[in-house]
Chains A and B, each alone.
Chain A
C-alpha cells in the first residue's frame, strides 16, 4: 500500500510508528514549507497510484489570511475530484499559534471553521474520497502542552511530544484500518439496561428510565444516537432475553426517542444471543462482519465475541464519559453516505412486505407477476457513478469477478468511448429499489467484438428473475449495435456462489 504524505512539519517519527503497526505500508514523505504548492503539484501528477494521500498542515493558521486557508481547501477539493486516492486531511492548531495574540487567533480559528469554512468544509465532506482526521480533538483530549514540544517544533520542525506522536499515529492507523475494512451496517442492541435503565420483567414498566433524569440520561442519549444512525443508513435490531409483550409494552407506553417500528428485526425470546445473531444474518441476508452488537451484560458480550470474532462487540457503558467514547468509535461511521443509503430502512420494510406476499402465494411465477416489477435500464448514465462504484465495492454474491471501480474510473471509461455501462433500476408495487445492478461492456470497435468486464446485481434484486432479463437486454442491445459478445470475465470467489450458478447454467449457453 503506497501512501503519499505531505506535511509542513516533520512526521518521520510518526511514519516509523505506522510502518511498524500497519502491514505492507510504504510512505512517500514530502516535507514542504508550502502545503498549497505541494498539493497543486500533486494534482498535475496524473500517474501516481497512491492508495492514500495524507495531508497534514500544522501551519495552516500560521498565515493569518483566511484566503490562504480557503485556497488550501479548494486545492484539496480539486485534487480529490480527479484522484483515485483516498485523502486524509488532518487539521491542527499551529504550534506557533499560541505564542502570540492567542485570543485573537483562537477567535479567528473558530470563526474560520464555523463561518467561512463551513460551506467549503461541507463540500469536502460530501466528496467521497476526503476524510477528516480530527487531530484537534486529540489535542483537547491530552492537553496542549502534553501534545506540543515547542523547542523541537521551533528549531527542528518536529513539534510533537512522545504522547502527541503516539496519539497521531494511533489516530491515523485507526482511520486507515477503518477505510480499508468492512463497513458496519447493522446495530443489534439489548433492551434492559441498554435501551433503558431497569429490567422490565422485574422492575415493572413504571421503574424503567429513558429520559433526561439521572437514571435515564445515558439511555436517552443512546436512543437519540441510534435514531441518528438509522438516518445514516444503519439497520437496527433488538436481541433481548425477555417476554416479547413486556418489551413491546415499554415502547407502547413510554415516550422514547426510538419507536418499536424503527427496528427492522426483533429477536425477543429466551434463547441464547448467538442464535439470535445467526438468524439475523440469514433473514437480513448480510454477513456477520457487518454487525455491531451492544449489550450491558458481560456474559452476553463474551458469548457473542467467542462465537463471532468478526462482530464489533460493545459493552454498554455505565459512565457518561465512556458513552461519549463509545459513540465516537469508527464502527459507527459510514465511509460516505449516499442518497441510496438513506432509503435503506424503507427498502428493507418493502422487502419484508414482499416476503409476506411470497409466503402467502405458492406459485413463484404468480408471485413475480403480482410484484409487477418495472425495470429501467440506462446506458452510460453519469449521474449516479458513486452508486455504481459502491455496487462494485460492496456486492459479493452476484458479482462476476469482484474487480472494483471508483466513480472516477467509471467516468473515464465512459469518456473514452470504448465502454458501455448498463445500469439497472427497478421498482415494484412495494416501492423503489433504486439502482441495483450494472453490466460493464468493453467494446473493441475494429473487431466488432464486446467483452463483458463484470456483471453485478445487488442481493436485494436477486430471486426475481431479473438477472435473466437484464442480461438478455444487454446481449440484444449489443447485437442491434453490431457487436458480438465474445468474452466474459468470470472468476470464482469465495462469496459469489449465486453468480457462479447463473454463469454456469445460463450465460455459457448464450455465447
Chain B
C-alpha cells in the first residue's frame, strides 16, 4: 500500500499534538508525546485511515517512521 509522509504527518499531529513535526528519520524517542497510550491511539488512527490490520508483532515494531512506512507498504 502507498504511504505518503504528508498523511502520516497529519495523523501524528492529531495523535501527538499540533506542534508535532516528523520526517522519515523520526524515531519514537524524538516525539515527546509518543507514550504507550498514544502509541495505541496511533495504531487505531492508522488502522482507520488505511483500512488495514496489524499483527501484534507489527504493533510492537512500529517505533519509527521508517518502520511504520515499511510495514504499511508491505500490506
Listed residue (A13, A152, A155, A163) with the most chain B CB atoms within 10 angstroms of its CB: A152
B41 within 8 A of partner (CB): yes
Q: Is the CB of A161 within 8 A of B44?
A: yes
B54 within 8 A of partner (CB): yes
C-alpha spacing A323/B59, complex, angstroms:
42
Contacts of B53 in A (CB 8 A): 151
Chain B positions 45 through 74: 1 when the CB is less than 8 Å from some CB of chain A, otherwise 0: 101100001111001000000000000000
Q: Which of B37, B54, B59 is close to A13, meaning CB atoms less than 8 Å apart?
A: B37
Q: Is the CB of A161 within 8 A of B47?
A: yes
C-alpha spacing A12/B36, complex, angstroms:
11
Q: Is the CB of A151 within 8 A of B55?
A: yes
B43 within 8 A of partner (CB): yes
Which residues 140-192 of A have a CB within 8 angstroms of B?
Answer: 149, 151-152, 154-156, 158, 161-163, 165
Q: Is the CB of A152 within 8 A of B40?
A: yes
Q: Which of A10, A156, A162 is close to B47, meaning CB atoms less than 8 Å apart?
A: A162
C-alpha spacing A391/B59, complex, angstroms:
55
C-alpha spacing A163/B43, complex, angstroms:
13
C-alpha spacing A155/B43, complex, angstroms:
13
Contacts of B45 in A (CB 8 A): 162
Q: How far is the CB of A27 from chain B (nearest CB, A)?
A: 14
Listed residue (B43, B45, B48, B55) with the most chain A CB atoms within 10 angstroms of its CB: B43
Contacts of A12 in B (CB 8 A): 37
Q: How far is the CB of A96 from chain B (nearest CB, A)?
A: 15
C-alpha spacing A237/B47, complex, angstroms:
50
Q: Is the CB of B40 within 8 A of A13?
A: yes
Q: Is the CB of B44 within 8 A of A156?
A: no
Q: Is the CB of B40 within 8 A of A156?
A: yes
Q: Which of A151, A156, A161 is close to B36, meaning CB atoms less than 8 Å apart?
A: A156
Contacts of A152 in B (CB 8 A): 40, 43-44, 59
C-alpha spacing A190/B47, complex, angstroms:
47
Q: Which of B37, B48, B59 is close to A151, meaning CB atoms less than 8 Å apart?
A: B59
C-alpha spacing A264/B45, complex, angstroms:
52
C-alpha spacing A149/B53, complex, angstroms:
10
Contacts of B56 in A (CB 8 A): 151, 154-155
Q: How far is the CB of B58 from chain A (nearest CB, A)?
A: 9
Which residues 11-62 of B have a CB within 8 angstroms of A?
Answer: 36-37, 40-41, 43-45, 47-48, 53-56, 59
Q: How far is the CB of B69 from chain A (nearest CB, A)?
A: 20
Contacts of B59 in A (CB 8 A): 151-152, 155
Q: How far is the CB of B36 from chain A (nearest CB, A)?
A: 7
Assess A158 versus B47: contact at CB under 8 Å? Given A151-B54, A151-B56, A151-B59: no
Q: Which of A10, A149, A154, A155 is close to B44, meaning CB atoms less than 8 Å apart?
A: A149
C-alpha spacing A152/B54, complex, angstroms:
10
Assess A13 versus B55: contact at CB under 8 Å? Given A161-B47, A162-B47, A162-B48: no
C-alpha spacing A154/B40, complex, angstroms:
12
C-alpha spacing A12/B53, complex, angstroms:
22
C-alpha spacing A161/B54, complex, angstroms:
12
C-alpha spacing A359/B12, complex, angstroms:
72
Q: Is the CB of A162 within 8 A of B44?
A: yes
Listed residue (B37, B54, B55) with the most chain A CB atoms within 10 angstroms of its CB: B37
* Interface set of A (CB-CB < 8 Å, partner B): 10, 12-13, 149, 151-152, 154-156, 158, 161-163, 165
Q: List 9 A-B contacts (CB under 8 A).
A: A10-B40, A13-B41, A151-B53, A151-B55, A152-B40, A152-B43, A155-B59, A161-B44, A162-B47
Q: Which 7 A-B pairs have the closest CB atoms?
A: A162-B44, A162-B48, A151-B56, A158-B40, A12-B37, A155-B56, A152-B40
